[in-house]
Amino acid sequence: MPIPNLAMQIRTVPERFAFWTTSLQFVMHQLISVLGVAIIANLIIGYSFDLLRLLGHTYRMGYSYWLLTGMPFFPVQVICGLCLGWQLSRWLRHRAMLWVWVLPALMLCYGVFFRTDVPARFREMYRVGYTGPVFAAGSYSLGALLARKMLEEPCSSATEQTTNQP
């Protein structure tokens, strides 16, 4: 009598709970892609500056602000999002990870088309608040997509020939 695969039994969800588990996965990955990436980027920059200070180099706090929010296209968050999306997609393989860019993109569209009267003193916060999550979630989804594509085994001609034989 074969032993049942316990990992497959744990991962399978009854049909009546499939909608709720998928929804919870989406919410979880949405929070990870926006808030988690921002927190990890802040931690990486903070620890990097602490390490440099231990080595004798001192930098002003303005440099960390510039690296996190002042540079165009938020490169620190994009790199963190790519790496986090890649690693989590290799481990979890949730399809919801591929769609977390949609809500921040809709929020950006709302901000562009309906919030045109932003005072000058709030423009930087407006830029960071609307475009930062789009870049973070987009890179998280891209990392997940790249991990999925890399993990797919390519179909070689030898396996196609053996499976297509009568």
Q: What total of structural domains would you count in the chain?
A: 1
Assess whether pLDDT exceeds 60 at residue 1. no
Q: Is residue 24 part of a domain?
A: yes
pLDDT on residue 89: 95
pLDDT on residue 116: 73
Assess whether pLDDT exceeds 70 at residue 104. yes
pTM greater than the 0.85 cutoff:
no
The residues, any chain, with a CB within 8 Å of residue 128's CB and separated by 6 or more, are 69
Q: Is residue 157 part of a domain?
A: no
More reliable by pLDDT, 132 or 4: 132
Query: Which of 139, 166, 157, 162 is closest to 40 using CA atoms?
Result: 139
Q: Is residue 30 part of a domain?
A: yes
Q: Is residue 156 part of a domain?
A: no
More reliable by pLDDT, 151 or 31: 31
The residues, any chain, with a CB within 8 Å of residue 32's CB and separated by 6 or more, are 84, 88, 140
Q: Is residue 10 part of a domain?
A: no
Per-residue pLDDT tens for 13-61? 677 888 999 999 999 999 999 999 999 999 999 999 999 999 999 888 8
Assess whether pLDDT exceeds 50 at residue 6. no
pLDDT on residue 159: 45
Q: Is residue 9 part of a domain?
A: no
Domain of residue 81 covers 20-151
Assess whether pLDDT exceeds 80 at residue 11. no
Q: Is residue 37 part of a domain?
A: yes
Q: Is residue 102 part of a domain?
A: yes
